[in-house]
């Protein structure tokens, strides 16, 4: 007997609170493109710092993910998430506006850029952990993948149009004053998040058997044990962490390489990023379909297989072909990274109980972004010691390996998003009855097909 068709769920475009969250994040993403290009160019062209000092910008921006991610996760699980998002946006707006003010008074130094990077990094830790924990409480579980896809489409669209506009603005009004737009974008984001109207009760504190509040050390340990004790989360963390470590060796000096060895201007760099970032948009538009067609796990594995290709292209490109080859590398990096991220982040959110969302996301960020400062330091050192292009080759070869942890793990068997568990442990597929590819198979070998290898990411 035929069963009745399942009614289609309404689009999240009709979800007013989600649309406000999406609008705020979209405005912020467009503004961020300006600072991501402007601040490194200030260091390279105005302050003319050497390679190691240049790479320290990335180190200090991501160092907070090592220092405060774990306690930030505890606080996000203890407090309401929306106020954390608002404070994070306003704080970053104030931090960024200090750069053009310092330039106006001819007082800008590399040390101020370091401080701005570190402060913004601290605020971003809290914002990102709260953001990923807030989405599952704002929409239904079945809408998490759609929500992440729509948010990633905004990010990808900003990456397409933002760098080109940023390069034009930097050429028109100079890099320091273009940063004002990013400061204003954070204020706009804060206003839209402030306008969200959904009751968010203060989370209940974890209690001991005697009824006392559980201390921060215990809650941090719970988060670490939660992630590292789960075979799915552990493999995803290993893949993403190694990808960020090896990739950052090259990305730490890529703009310096483009400016000093390829002779690229801010406008040309912006165009290359804009063209290449079409890949990120395409990934955001298709990640959901790819995950459903090939399975979430295979999609995670397959996309990770391609992580090293962009850096090979960057290392190979001659000055006369820097624009088309650079854009191609960015296209591949954007597409594979976005497909990977949407599927693995949605999977993590889906299996995690509400009370553990903050600590899960914070622990993952601690593990996977904690490797970025190390990669930046290595990249800065190698850039000054063996040369900028040679450093890109090192990054390229190492970046061919991060897919291995997810390939040789149960991650590749995940077919669909599992239902969350109500307990303290992740709802592991197979334990809670999620739909898996139930056909046992050996780990794919060197001659495995792409469908079997597919991975199917970062920040």
What 3-state DSSP class applies to 359? helix
What pTM, to 2 d.p., does this model score?
Answer: 0.66
Helix (H, G, I), strand (E, B) or coil at 185: helix
pLDDT in the model for residue 443: 30
Cα dihedral 260, 248, 390, 36, rounded to 10, equals: -10
Q: Which residue has the tokens 């538009």?
A: 285
* pLDDT tens digit at each of 459 positions of the chain: 444 555 556 678 778 888 888 888 888 877 777 887 788 888 887 888 887 888 888 788 878 878 887 888 888 888 888 899 999 999 999 999 999 999 888 888 999 999 998 998 899 888 888 877 788 778 776 777 778 777 777 776 776 666 667 777 777 777 778 888 889 989 999 999 999 988 777 767 666 666 667 777 888 888 888 888 888 899 999 999 999 999 999 988 888 888 888 888 877 887 887 788 788 888 888 888 888 888 888 999 999 999 999 999 999 988 888 889 999 998 999 899 889 988 888 888 888 887 777 788 878 888 888 788 889 889 989 988 899 999 999 999 999 999 999 999 888 888 776 655 544 455 444 333 232 222 222 333 323 222 232 233 333
Cα–Cα dist 424/360, whole Å:
11
At 259 the pLDDT is 85
What is the structure's pLDDT at 452?
A: 30
Q: What's the pLDDT score for residue 431?
A: 31
- The pLDDT value recorded for residue 419 is 59
Name the β-bridge partners of 213: 207
15-197+217-453 adopts what CATH topology?
Growth Hormone; Chain: A; (1.20.1250)
Q: Rounded to the nearest 5 degrees, what angle is found at the Cα of 242, between the Cα atoms of 236 and 246? A: 150
- Which pLDDT value is given to residue 208? 62
Can you give the residue ranges of every domain in the chain? 15-197+217-453
Q: What angle do the packed helices 266-276 and 278-294 form, to 10 degrees?
A: 20
Q: Can you give the pLDDT at residue 332?
A: 93
| 363: CB partners within 8 A, 6+ apart | 69, 70, 73, 223, 224, 226, 227, 228
């Amino acid at each position: 007997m035929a069963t009745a068709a399942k009614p289609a769920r309404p689009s999240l475009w009709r979800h007013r609170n989600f649309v406000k969250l999406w609008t705020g994040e979209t405005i912020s993403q467009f503004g961020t493109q300006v600072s991501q290009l402007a601040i490194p160019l200030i260091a390279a062209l105005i302050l003319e710092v050497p390679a190691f000092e240049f790479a320290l910008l990335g180190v200090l921006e991501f160092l907070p993910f090592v220092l405060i991610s774990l306690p930030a996760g505890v606080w996000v699980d203890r407090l309401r998430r929306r106020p954390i998002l608002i404070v994070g946006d306003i704080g970053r707006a104030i931090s960024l506006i200090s750069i053009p003010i310092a330039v106006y008074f001819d007082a800008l130094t590399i040390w101020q850029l370091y401080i701005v990077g570190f402060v913004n990094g601290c605020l971003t830790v809290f914002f990102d952990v709260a953001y990923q924990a807030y989405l599952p409480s704002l929409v239904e579980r079945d809408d998490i993948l759609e929500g992440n896809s729509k948010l990633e489409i905004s990010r990808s669209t900003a990456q397409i149009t933002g760098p080109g506009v940023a390069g034009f603005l930097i050429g028109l009004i100079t890099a320091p004053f273009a940063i004002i737009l990013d400061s204003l974008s954070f204020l706009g984001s804060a206003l839209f998040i402030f306008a969200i109207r959904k009751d968010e009760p203060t989370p209940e504190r974890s209690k001991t058997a005697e009824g006392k509040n559980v201390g921060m050390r215990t809650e941090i340990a719970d988060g670490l044990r939660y992630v590292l004790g789960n075979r799915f989360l552990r493999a995803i963390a290993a893949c993403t962490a190694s990808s960020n470590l090896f990739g950052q060796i090259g990305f730490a000096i890529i703009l310096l390489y483009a400016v000093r060895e390829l002779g690229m201007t801010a406008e040309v760099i912006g165009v290359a990023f804009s063209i290449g970032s079409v890949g990120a948009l395409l990934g955001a538009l298709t990640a959901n379909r790819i995950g459903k067609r090939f399975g979430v796990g295979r999609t995670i594995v397959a996309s990770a297989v391609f992580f090293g290709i962009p850096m090979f292209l960057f290392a190979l490109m001659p000055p006369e072909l820097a624009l088309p080859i650079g854009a191609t590398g960015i296209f591949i990096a954007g597409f594979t990274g976005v497909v990977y991220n949407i599927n693995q982040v949605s999977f993590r959110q889906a299996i995690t109980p509400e009370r553990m969302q903050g600590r899960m996301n914070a622990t993952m960020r601690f593990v996977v972004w904690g490797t970025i400062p190390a990669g930046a330091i290595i990249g800065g050192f190698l850039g000054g010691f063996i040369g900028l292009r040679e450093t890109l080759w090192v990054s390229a070869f190492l970046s061919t390996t991060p897919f291995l942890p997810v390939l040789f793990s149960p991650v590749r068997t995940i077919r669909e998003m599992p239902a969350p568990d109500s307990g303290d442990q992740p709802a592991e597929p197979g334990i809670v009855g999620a739909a898996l590819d139930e056909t046992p198979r050996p780990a794919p070998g060197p001659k495995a097909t792409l469908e079997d290898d597919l991975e199917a990411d970062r920040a």
